Amino acid sequence: MAAGTVTATELRAPEGFWRRTWAVIDERLGLSGLAYPVPAHANGIGYILGGISFFGFLILAATGVWLAQFYHPDPGGARESIAYVMNVAPFGDVVRGVHFWVANLVMATVLLHMGRVFVTGSYKRPREANWLIGVGLLGITLGLIFTGSVLKWDQEGYEALQHNIEVANLLGAFGFWFSPEFAATLPIIGRLYMAHVVILPALGTLLLIAHFLLVKRHGISPLPAVADAAVEGGPAPEKGGSTFAAHVIRMTGFGLLILAGTALLSLVWGAPLGDRPNPAIEVTKPWWMFLPFYPFEDWFGLSALLWAPAILIGGLILVPFVDRSPWRSPARRKRIVAVFAIVVIALVALAIYALVTPPAAHVMEAAG
Ligand code: HEM
């Protein structure tokens, strides 16, 4: 029989059917190309946090499209349209709950991913540029959460917007886009909505494409001890052990778990919606990721909202340029790891302090 000819038994066999179906699909889509080798440690939890964050963004995009069918970006109707989503729209309360919880989770996994990259020294040559792209992605994640929190137009969202406007004033001419005066034709909530659903996702997608292309180009960084041994003349780090396809399957598994977990959570504990905004009071605190900056506002006034994050972001940008030794293991990078630990502990302590102290009127105080 000629090579490649399919026998009658094979034609009937289910495995033969599935094998041929796969071959037909693969010939056209090249899916088996995704089974390229990656090191086994890429599937460990520390090295899959970026992938989990990515899956989280996919869930946010899907649930966000559903919410956008009902949301009305106007000061007169925004909060009411969200109440409609929660009480009337099909699956609205669960979809909104998943959007809310996944946003919080993605923030946590992005921070943990950055922490892993830092502790394992994976920002070092040749991955410095990807660290900087990551800092951009961190900014976009924070921007998405900030704009999202304003959109619900309750007391907390309204107060967040007042902070946004104060920062615009502090930035002077550079703050024009953040100022309500920029467009007399559209309330600022309309532009923040556009930032939330178009500008930030588009920028984020571009940065993610660059991020992933560079991960593919450089490969995932070797484990620190292995990388250090190679610097000392030991064996080169392994390139195989697993495949990218296995990595994607694992990432999808974690992603689906998150989806199921947040859907269950939403049934018990839905996303909050506060009272209609009352411009005469200032009583709320920001979301947890912004809390570390809240005490600075108490101590130094609203200008701290500019310089405190700027120092932090500036410090992150400098990391690959300051730590230039070839070593990856934290034990060989004690000084920079200690600085990182101190900054993390300080940020957590500031957030806890902000949580337990009574809310203060920062914007109204500045205006008065
Ligand atoms: C929107 C958020 C982000 C997503 C979805 C994302 C996604 C990913 C993915 C999938 C990888 C491959 C390996 C892994 O998962 O660890 C990766 C690697 C990397 N990421 Fe991110 N990332 C994000 C944010 C960041 C941030 C905030 C930083 C640092 C400031 C960063 C720096 C890096 C670096 C340097 C690598 C290469 C690490 C290595 O080879 O070990 N990323 N990222």
Whichever domain contains 229, its CATH number is 1.20.810.10
Q: Comparing C-alpha atoms, which of 330, 354, 348 is closest to residue 118?
A: 330
Half-sphere exposure of 320 (CA within 13 A, CB side): 17
CB-ligand 1 contact for 221 (6 Å cutoff) = yes
- Give the pLDDT band of residue 356 (cuts 50, 70, 90): very high
Does the CB atom of residue 138 touch ligand 1 within 6 A? yes
Residue 79 domain-assigned (yes or no): yes
Q: Which domain holds residue 176?
A: 38-280
| Residue 275 belongs to a domain | yes
Cis peptide leading into 326, omega within 30 of 0? no
Q: Is 95 a domain residue?
A: yes
Q: What is the mean pLDDT of the chain?
A: 94
Tokens of 343: 């900054």
Number of domains composing the chain: 1
Residue 335 lies in a domain: no
Alpha helices in 69-91 (DSSP H): 78-87
- Asked if residue 247 is part of any domain, the answer here is yes
| Cβ(96) – ligand 1 distance below 6 Å | no
Give domain status of residue 52, yes or no: yes
CB-based contact 211:133 (threshold 8 Å): yes
- The crossing angle, in degrees rounded to 10, of helices 92-119 and 334-356 is 150
Give the pLDDT of residue 9.
Answer: 58
Q: What is the pLDDT of residues 230-258, one digit of tens each?
A: 999 999 998 889 999 999 999 999 999 99
In angstroms, the CA 216 to CA 235 distance is 22
Rounded to the nearest angstrom, the distance between the alpha carbon of 134 and the centre of ligand 1 is 6
Q: How far apart are CA 131 and CA 320, in angstroms?
A: 8
pLDDT, tens digit (0-9, with 9 covering 90-100), for 273-312? 999 999 999 999 999 999 999 999 999 999 999 999 999 9
Domain annotation covers residue 367: no
Percent of the chain with pLDDT over 90: 89
Domain assignment of residue 210, yes or no = yes
